[in-house]
Amino acid sequence: MNTAEWLHEGHTRIMGILNVTPDSFSDGGSYTTPEAVRKRVAEMIGEGADIIDVGGESTRPGFKSVDVNEELKRVIPAVKLIKEEFDIPVSVDTTKTAVAEEALSAGAFMINDVSGLFMARSMTELIASKEAFCCLVHNRKEVLRVTDTIEYLESVCSELESIAAAAEKAGIRHESIILDPGIGFAKTHEQNMMILSNLEHFRKLGYPLLLGASRKSVIGNILGLPPSERTEGTIALSVLAAGAGFGFVRVHDIKENKRAVLMTESLKSFRRERRGAWTISR
pLDDT at 21 over 90: no
> pLDDT at position 222, please?
97
> pLDDT at position 25, please?
47
Kindly report, residue by residue over 57-71, the tens digit of the pLDDT.
876 655 567 899 999
Residues designated as active site = 216, 250
pLDDT at 128 over 50: yes
Whether the Cβ atoms of residue 132 and residue 176 lie closer than 8 Å to each other: yes
Give the confidence band of 272 by pLDDT, cuts at 50, 70, 90.
confident
What are the residue boundaries of the structural domains of the chain, listed by start? 3-281
The top-level CATH class assigned to 3-281 is: alpha beta
Averaged over 200-213, what is the pLDDT?
96
